[in-house]
């Protein structure tokens, strides 16, 4: 499993200040790393029509995918939570679409509390193209 870089952690934590969260006041930040080493920062973006909210993880993925990126090596997610932040089910499904099952995911809470897992660890027995 590739080691998480401090720079990626900093990018995910710095994103917290940019999150658009006027309704939940629950900022989430993400840093998605590509095979070439490029990083894409993500924030959650809420809407007065609550269901339109886009999570930080998916913002990072959609920024990267729309720039033509297809190969990812690490995802860092940060939140102001006592335990490491736990990605939602929709974001886990998007991770399963674009990442290998063993891709490392680093989850960060307050005070630097950290958990290392993988895409498959977050979504075992995922529904993917193999199932179609």
Q: Which residues are catalytic?
A: 57
Which listed range, 21-29, 94-102, 104-112, 118-126, lies at the site for ligand THU (CB under 6 A)?
21-29
The token pair that represents 121 in the structure block: 């660890």
Whole-angstrom distance, CA of residue 118 vs CA of residue 98: 13
User: How far apart are CB 36 and ligand THU at their closest, in Å?
Assistant: 25
- The pairs formed by 120-125 with CB atoms below 8 angstroms and a separation of 24 or more are 122/87, 122/92, 122/95, 123/89, 123/92, 123/93, 123/95, 123/96
Among residues 87, 99, 107, 123, the one that binds ligand THU under rule CB under 6 A: 87
Check binding of 21 to ligand THU (CB under 6 A).
yes
Q: Which residues bind ligand THU (CB under 6 A)?
A: 21, 24, 26, 28, 44, 46, 53, 55-57, 87-88, 91
């Amino acid at each position: 499993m590739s080691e998480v870089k401090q720079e990626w952690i900093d990018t995910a934590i710095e994103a917290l200040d940019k999150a658009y969260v006027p309704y939940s006041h629950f900022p989430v930040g993400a840093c998605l790393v590509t095979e070439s080493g490029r990083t894409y920062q993500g924030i959650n973006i809420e809407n007065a029509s609550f269901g339109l909210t886009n999570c930080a993880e998916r913002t990072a993925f959609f920024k990267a995918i729309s720039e033509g990126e297809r190969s990812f090596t690490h995802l860092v997610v940060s939140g102001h939570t006592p335990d490491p932040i736990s990605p939602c089910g929709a974001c886990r499904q998007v991770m399963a679409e674009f990442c290998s099952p063993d891709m490392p995911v680093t989850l960060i809470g307050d005070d630097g509390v950290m958990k290392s897992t993988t895409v498959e660890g977050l979504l075992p027995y995922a529904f993917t193209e193999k199932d179609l």
